[in-house]
Structure 1
Amino acid sequence: MYHSKDITVLIATKDRVKQIERAILSSVNQSINPRVVVLDDASEINIKKELAYKFSKFRIKWLRSNTPSGVAGARNKLVENSSGSIMVFLDDDAYFSDEYSLEKILKKFSSSDSLAAMALKIVLRQETDGLQIPFNRLERILNKNIHNNETEASYYVGAGHVLVREVFEKTGGYDNDFFYGLEELDLSSSIIKEGKKIIYFPDVEVIHEPQRSVVDKKNQLKDETYYSIRNRIWVSYKHLPIIYLISHLFIWGSFYLLRSLLKFQLIKYFFALKDGFLKLKHLRRNPFNSESIKYLRKNHGRLWY
């Protein structure tokens, strides 16, 4: 049984004062009183100086990194500088839709010892509204109500997710080298290989209003596309059995090649391939076993692509 002292909300931010203020407000205005840890990941302005006085009555710990950590690195720093068994990760441009969100999360984790991660119902608000949930388009078409049903899942979306500290530490947490992109899929795969469950929990809704990426726009080669290609190679190599690895790399490699051709970004494509494959000799390969594959097939996991 978990209690309010066991839950901590972890939020990393970079140069987004208004957004992080909204995220913090939604975290402290809850039916329970959580700890909140905020990491200022090398912002040009000092986030703590801008906001700390507004939240002096709440249990908020302010951290600052003087060099960019990336998404994966920032989350690891938040974990290292926090306590509590139930870790609720919230993007700085996201916020809870109601004041009972954390209470519902605690109750759900208290009901199952095998539960290690939780994907929340993320409502995307931008030019075209939508959902960020762990099911592909075909599954949503075949099951029109899938977004409203609690079910086991094969991964979670980073904007709002929950992890159990014990399992996080056992798997090694996020891989800092990923920096940006697919870090959730990588950790989800490690969790499944531990024999633990990930669930999609639509009772908790997070509103996500995406802002400009944290990736350094001054670097013309290492942008979102670069990290998507490079990190896809790493995730596939680390977790997929050989037959799925070959299929996965062929399909995604072809997809990114075509997109790079259309966008005149072939140099970036081959640069990402080079960096992706060069790192493989340093990665530990630990493919899914039969039980993990069974879990993935049952819960909409992607194996072939």
Structure 2
Amino acid sequence: MTYPNYPKPLHVAGAPGPAEAVEADVVILAMDRAEETVAAIASARAQRGVTKHVWIVDQGSAEPNLARLADAVRGAPDATLVRLDRNHGVAGGRNRATALGAAPVVFALDNDAEFERADTLARAVAALREERDLAAIACRILVFATGEDDLSSWGYPAGLLAQSAGSFDAATFVGAGHAIRRADFAAAGGYDDALFFTWEEFDLALRFINLGRRIRYRGDIAVRHKVSPEARFAWGGTRWFHFVRNRLYIAMKHGTPPAALLPRFLAYTAKGARNGVLAQGLRAGPAALAMARAFRPAPGSEHLYGETPSARAYLARTDAAHRGGMAARIRREILSALPAAAPRR
């Protein structure tokens, strides 16, 4: 992949990079939450049965927290801590973290998550090796303390929740834990920095699908997530704005006319009003339109946008077929309360 010419980040601690080629790069974005991040780093470094390098990319931690991260990797031959010039969000941060390595598999782990087992990374690498048409492995996300499914991180139709321990082709993947084939990440152009956070995985997944690739959810490849309300963007801050803006923008840049998105925008408006975040959603519509008007595909990447007939069939089979009838969707997706982060136990 020819990455954008990102400025070289400041090396803080750990090795400058792997001494030799590895099978997987583990990328962890950090911004404060030092205790959880140190545990995530330890979990990644403890993975067995696969060669790997752990890249920790800090996007603005307070100095005491950055010092704790540095202590966690000081002298480590298999981990590197760098610091970016500012917070580039989830999408931009993952792009920059991925560009640091060269392994054929990139596993992104949230800094409040840990691998469920010592061989989880090896299993993800093996899964991508065995099924060559897979662009990504979507991991099962579990509540750290209980081992139950983290419903606040379920990114698939509710009709598939009964299969959470199994395996199925999916239309997206969840950011808390997933593995991506680097070659497909390159072919799809990486994440869209403009999204900052929310829906960035779905946007990339659509481009994978347009390339004729698959995404496979694997309930036997899991991470445990320390879900904590105080560490997440509150719906009353900017989260709903980004949620609505980004989803509308993604639809428009994939060819949906703005007028055709009016029912979706009205549904979001109704949901926002019901949940006390109406103003965020109303601001999101014009912002999405402005982003879509400014969007230009990189030369040679026009084929990644829109929906090919095969992509349309894939999305119908893996997503729409499991969402139920219109009445059920209105009740579940519009009239319901916004999901709250599960309490840390």
Q: TM-score, normalised by structure 2?
A: 0.77
What is the match of residue 309 of structure 2? 290
Q: Could you say if the C-alpha distance between residues 69 and 213 of structure 1 is closer, same or farther in structure 2, counting changes exceeding 3 Å?
A: farther
Aligned-pair CA distance for 1:250: 3.8
Aligned-pair CA distance for 1:20: 0.5
What is the match of residue 163 of structure 1? 180
What is the match of residue 46 of structure 2? 29
Aligned-pair CA distance for 1:236: 1.2
Q: Are the equivalent residues in 2 in contact too, given 1:10–1:36 (CA < 8 A)?
A: yes
Q: Could you say if the C-alpha distance between residues 50 and 226 of structure 1 is closer, same or farther in structure 2, counting changes exceeding 3 Å?
A: same
- The question of 1:273 aligning with 2:285 is answered yes
Separation in 2 of the partners of 1:134 and 1:230? Answer: 18
Q: Could you say if the C-alpha distance between residues 108 and 261 of structure 1 is closer, same or farther in structure 2, counting changes exceeding 3 Å?
A: closer
Aligned-pair CA distance for 1:54: 3.3
What amino acid is the match of 2:107? V
Aligned to 2:287, what secondary structure does the other structure show?
helix
Separation in 1 of the partners of 2:147 and 2:25? Answer: 32
- The question of 1:223 aligning with 2:248 is answered no
Report the identity percentage. 23
What is the match of residue 25 of structure 2? 8
Q: Are the equivalent residues in 1 in contact too, given 2:38–2:72 (CA < 8 A)?
A: no
Instruction: Identify which range, 87-96 or 281-290, moves more after superposition.
Output: 281-290
Aligned to 2:132, what secondary structure does the other structure show?
coil
What is the match of residue 189 of structure 1? 206
Divergent runs of 4+, >4 A: 125-129, 301-305
Partner of residue 101 from structure 1, selected from 120, 123, 126 = 120
Separation in 1 of the partners of 2:96 and 2:201? Answer: 16
Partner of residue 157 from structure 2, selected from 116, 136, 141 = 136
Map 1:1-305; keep pairs closer than 5 Å. 5-32=22-49, 33-45=51-63, 47-55=65-73, 56-125=75-144, 130-131=149-150, 132-140=153-161, 144=162, 146-211=163-228, 212-213=230-231, 223-239=238-254, 249-284=261-296, 286-301=305-320
Aligned to 1:237, what secondary structure does the other structure show?
helix
Identify unmatched segments of 5+ residues in structure 1.
none
What is the match of residue 343 of structure 2? none
Q: Are the equivalent residues in 2 in contact too, given 1:9–1:89 (CA < 8 A)?
A: yes
Identify unmatched segments of 5+ residues in structure 2.
1-19, 298-304, 330-345
Separation in 1 of the partners of 2:147 and 2:132? Answer: 38
Separation in 2 of the partners of 1:240 and 1:126? Answer: 43
Aligned to 1:174, what secondary structure does the other structure show?
coil
Separation in 2 of the partners of 1:99 and 1:264? Answer: 43
Instruction: Identify which range, 282-291 or 58-67, moves more after superposition.
Output: 282-291
Q: Deviations over 1:144-201 (max 9, x none)?
A: 3x11222211110110011111111111101111001100110000100011111011
Aligned-pair CA distance for 1:252: 3.2
Separation in 2 of the partners of 1:135 and 1:53? Answer: 38
Aligned-pair CA distance for 1:7: 0.6
Q: Deviations over 1:232-255 (max 9, x none)?
A: 11111123656xx866x3443223
Q: Are the equivalent residues in 2 in contact too, given 1:241–1:288 (CA < 8 A)?
A: no
Q: Deviations over 1:99-150 (max 9, x none)?
A: 011111121111122111110011135899533344321333xxx3x11222
Q: Are the equivalent residues in 1 in contact too, given 2:113–2:144 (CA < 8 A)?
A: no
Instruction: Identify which range, 57-66 or 68-77, moves more after superposition.
Output: 57-66
Separation in 2 of the partners of 1:260 and 1:127? Answer: 31
Q: Are the equivalent residues in 2 in contact too, given 1:15–1:45 (CA < 8 A)?
A: no
Q: Could you say if the C-alpha distance between residues 246 and 162 of structure 1 is closer, same or farther in structure 2, counting changes exceeding 3 Å?
A: farther
Separation in 2 of the partners of 1:127 and 1:227? Answer: 30
Q: Could you say if the C-alpha distance between residues 126 and 237 of structure 1 is closer, same or farther in structure 2, counting changes exceeding 3 Å?
A: farther
Q: Are the equivalent residues in 2 in contact too, given 1:29–1:99 (CA < 8 A)?
A: yes
What amino acid is the match of 2:169? E
Q: TM-score, normalised by structure 1?
A: 0.86
What amino acid is the match of 2:72? K
Instruction: Identify which range, 60-69 or 92-101, moves more after superposition.
Output: 60-69
What is the match of residue 9 of structure 2? none
Q: Could you say if the C-alpha distance between residues 251 and 139 of structure 1 is closer, same or farther in structure 2, counting changes exceeding 3 Å?
A: farther
Separation in 1 of the partners of 2:276 and 2:216? Answer: 40
Query: How big is the alpha-carbon RMSD for the aligned residues of Structure 1 and Structure 2?
Result: 2.8
Aligned to 2:36, what secondary structure does the other structure show?
helix
